[in-house]
């Protein structure tokens, strides 16, 4: 059983890694079409991308339903008071097979969509992708009862980093190090992403902007 549990943990890690790769490097049809005017998508590009999406949509839904059912069955087998290793491993093979098929279909679709876009369009779409930056731990305490430091979770890939600004006594200044900021001194934190960031801060805000207002 230990082998089964370890394998499940590895599977979860691989799924998460695959999703990160897709989000970092590729573009979904929904993302492209929702920003078609902003990236100057041509009518021909739009038609082709719709065809690519619809071509695989039916098979994708079927595989997704089959995967959900197979995963549910695996959970039921694992919940039993007496677990059959043979049955669990067999069902896990089924889950892995469906997951692999689903990822390959998704990859094929997303790559085909990306290849229809110009380099400039891809760069613009990067600013509209979900993710970027988020804030956790602000104003909270840890188990030891000590104040947590401000932690910024950056989901951008590579060396790209968001901009950080502090507003103190009505004056705004850009900073690189947040370690010196005490959570108790923070009044509010605002996170800007995508167009909201670039509209105010220009191209420098393409990877997100974090604005921290300190108490007076």
Give the orientation angle of helix 2-25 with respect to helix 85-114, to 10 degrees.
10
Query: In this structure, is the dihedral angle defined by the CA atoms of residues 114, 116, 121 and 125, taken in order, positive or negative?
Result: negative
C-alpha 83/C-alpha 209 separation (Å) is 50
181 pLDDT more than 60: yes
Decide which of 191 and 19 is more confident. Answer: 191
Comparing 56 with 131, the larger pLDDT belongs to 56
Average pLDDT over residues 195-210: 80
Positive or negative: CA dihedral 98, 99, 102, 103: negative
pLDDT score for 179 = 65
Which residues partner with 88 through β-bridges? none
Q: Which of 4, 103, 9 is nearest to 63 (CA)?
A: 103
User: CA–CA distance from 61 to each of 68, 157, 198 (Å)?
Assistant: 11, 29, 36
Give the model confidence (pLDDT) of 76-129 as tens digits: 998 888 989 899 899 999 999 998 898 899 899 999 999 999 999 998 888 777
**Residues 1-15: tens digit of each pLDDT:** 444 444 444 444 454
Residues paired with 192 in a beta bridge: 209
How big is the chain by its Cα radius of gyration, in Å? 23
Indicate whether 39 pLDDT > 60.
yes
Mean pLDDT (the chain, rounded): 77
Token look-up 């499940």 returns 8
pLDDT digits (tens, 9 = 90+) for 147-170: 444 444 444 545 567 888 888 888
pLDDT, residue 193, reads: 77
If you count DSSP H runs as helices and E runs as strands, how many of each does the chain have, helices first?
A: 6, 6
Query: Can you give the residue ranges of every domain in the chain?
Result: 2-125, 131-214
* Gap between the Cα atoms of 170 and 174, Å rounded: 13
pLDDT at residue number 180: 67
- Sign of the CA dihedral running 44, 50, 51, 53: positive
The answer to whether residue 40 scores a pLDDT higher than 90 is yes
Confidence band for 20, pLDDT divided at 50, 70 and 90: low
Residue 160, pLDDT score: 64
Given a contact cutoff of 8 angstroms between Cβ atoms, the answer to whether 213 and 187 are in contact is yes
Helix (H, G, I), strand (E, B) or coil at 189: strand
Q: Are 52 and 109 in contact (CB under 8 A)?
A: yes
C-alpha dist (Å) from residue 133 to 3, 67, 139, 170, 183:
36, 31, 18, 24, 18
């Amino acid at each position: 059983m230990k082998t089964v549990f370890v394998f499940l943990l590895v599977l979860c890690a691989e799924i998460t890694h695959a999703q990160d790769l897709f989000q970092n490097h590729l573009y979904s049809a929904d993302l492209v079409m929702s920003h078609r005017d902003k990236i100057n998508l041509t009518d021909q590009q739009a038609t082709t991308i719709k065809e690519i999406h619809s071509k695989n949509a039916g098979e994708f839904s079927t595989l997704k339903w089959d995967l959900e059912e197979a995963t549910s069955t695996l959970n039921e087998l694992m919940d039993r008071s007496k677990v059959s290793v043979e049955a669990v491993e067999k069902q896990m093979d089924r889950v892995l097979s469906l997951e692999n098929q689903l990822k390959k279909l998704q990859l094929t679709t997303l790559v085909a969509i990306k290849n229809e876009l110009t380099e400039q369009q891809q760069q613009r779409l990067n600013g509209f992708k979900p993710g970027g930056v988020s804030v956790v731990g602000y104003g909270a305490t840890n188990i030891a009862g000590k104040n947590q430091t401000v932690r910024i979770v950056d989901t951008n890939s590579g060396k790209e980093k968001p901009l950080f600004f502090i507003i103190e006594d009505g004056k705004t200044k850009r900073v690189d190090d947040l370690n010196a900021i005490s959570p108790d001194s923070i009044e509010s934190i605002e996170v800007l992403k995508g167009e909201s960031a670039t509209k105010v801060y220009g191209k420098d805000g393409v990877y997100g902007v974090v604005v921290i207002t300190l108490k007076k």
